[in-house]
């Protein structure tokens, strides 16, 4: 739950908000042009995943702007050269378009993910949702903010005592057809009604902040820039994101930038339920 608050007086936040708002506007313009049938370039990377002109345009803009406000910090981006990354003790981690497949299928559930990594931990996170003209952002050690680009309204997460819900809300990707997801839900349904909520990309993390998803299981791979910002925001409200052996993800440390599966949860009560269900899935 978010409630109206004053504009934060944090220098980093105040510098980042207009930059992320502009990046969101660029991405939204690209999306609208694509949906309108204008000429649009889509290529395939070495791993056969798609990359569009929108990914590259937003990536270029954000790297340029981040270099202006934090010239001392490198940027670890999905669309840039990362060969030097293991020498970096601190860096930005960027996904200029999380949910490229959603974008290509003309579903508006795509985001821009930006996080600050220090000693392999996410210490600051931003997830912008261009089609809703909002962003969620904040430090690991503080409750996060929600900012509207259009109204310039600021809200802050409010920890309130939650009432017992009738159903457990489980977040799934649109492509979650693996039978393991049904095994997972079947276990949860032994004790609680389950409400399935399908959405794309890191948008599911935003839904968790809004109380619309309680547990988000993921049994197929992601990359570090897909999860870093979401993990930081969830941890800041008392939730989290852990590997399938219940360990929080760490960043820019392993040889690969690929993640294995994970379980994300909104609070400690959800965590125990989520991990109990995991024991009944063949993962």
User: What share of the chain in percent tops pLDDT 70?
Assistant: 98
pLDDT at residue 158 above 80? yes
Strand partners, 154: 147
pTM over cut 0.75:
yes
Helices (H), 88-155: 100-104
Please check whether residue 215 is in contact with residue 266, taking contact to mean a CB–CB distance below 8 angstroms: yes
Torsion sign, CA atoms 108, 66, 255, 274: negative
Q: What is the pLDDT of residue 277?
A: 94
- Sequence-distant (6+) residues with CB within 8 A of 204 are 171, 173, 197, 213, 216, 230, 264
Q: Residue ranges per domain, the chain?
A: 2-157, 168-278
Q: CA-CA distance, 51 to 104, in Å (whole number)?
A: 10
Nearest to 227 by CA among 238, 212, 216, 211: 216
User: Please, which residues have CB within 8 angstroms of residue 129's CB and are 6 or more apart in sequence?
Assistant: 24, 111, 135, 136, 203, 206
**The token pair that represents 6 in the structure block:** 């004053």
pLDDT in tens, 258-273: 999 999 999 998 999 9
Residue 47 is predicted with a pLDDT of 77
Give the pLDDT confidence of 73-93 residue by residue, as tens digits.
Answer: 999 998 888 889 999 999 999
| CATH homologous superfamily, domain 2-157 | Fructose-1,6-Bisphosphatase, subunit A, domain 1 (3.30.540.10)
What fold does the segment set 168-278 form as a domain? Answer: D-Maltodextrin-Binding Protein; domain 2 (3.40.190)
Is a pLDDT exceeding 80 seen at residue 160? no
């Amino acid at each position: 739950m978010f409630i109206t608050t004053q504009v934060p007086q944090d220098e980093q936040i105040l510098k980042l908000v207009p930059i992320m708002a502009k990046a969101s506007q660029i991405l939204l313009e690209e999306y609208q042009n694509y949906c309108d049938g204008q000429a649009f370039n889509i290529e395939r990377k070495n791993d056969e995943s798609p990359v569009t002109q929108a990914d590259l345009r937003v990536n270029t803009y954000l790297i340029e702007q981040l270099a202006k406000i934090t010239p001392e910090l490198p940027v670890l981006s999905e669309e840039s050269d990362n060969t030097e990354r293991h020498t970096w003790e601190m860096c930005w981690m960027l996904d200029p378009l999380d949910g490229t497949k959603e974008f290509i299928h003309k579903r508006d559930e795509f985001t821009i993910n930006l996080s600050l990594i220090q000693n392999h931990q996410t210490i600051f996170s931003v997830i912008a949702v261009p089609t809703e003209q909002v962003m969620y952002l904040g430090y690991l050690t503080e409750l996060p903010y929600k900012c509207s680009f259009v109204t310039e309204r600021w809200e802050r997460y409010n920890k309130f005592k939650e009432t017992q819900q009738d159903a457990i809300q489980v977040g799934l990707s649109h492509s979650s057809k693996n039978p393991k997801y049904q095994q997972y839900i079947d276990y949860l349904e032994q004790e609680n009604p389950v409400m399935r909520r399908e959405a794309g990309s890191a948008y599911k993390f935003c839904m968790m902040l809004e109380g619309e998803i309680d547990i988000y299981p993921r049994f197929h791979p992601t990359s570090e820039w897909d999860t870093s910002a979401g993990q930081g925001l969830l941890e800041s409200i008392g939730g989290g994101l852990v590997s399938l052996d219940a360990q929080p993800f760490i960043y820019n440390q392993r040889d690969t930038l690929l993640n294995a599966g994970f379980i994300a949860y909104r609070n400690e009560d959800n965590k125990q339920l989520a991990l109990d269900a995991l024991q009944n899935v063949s993962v």
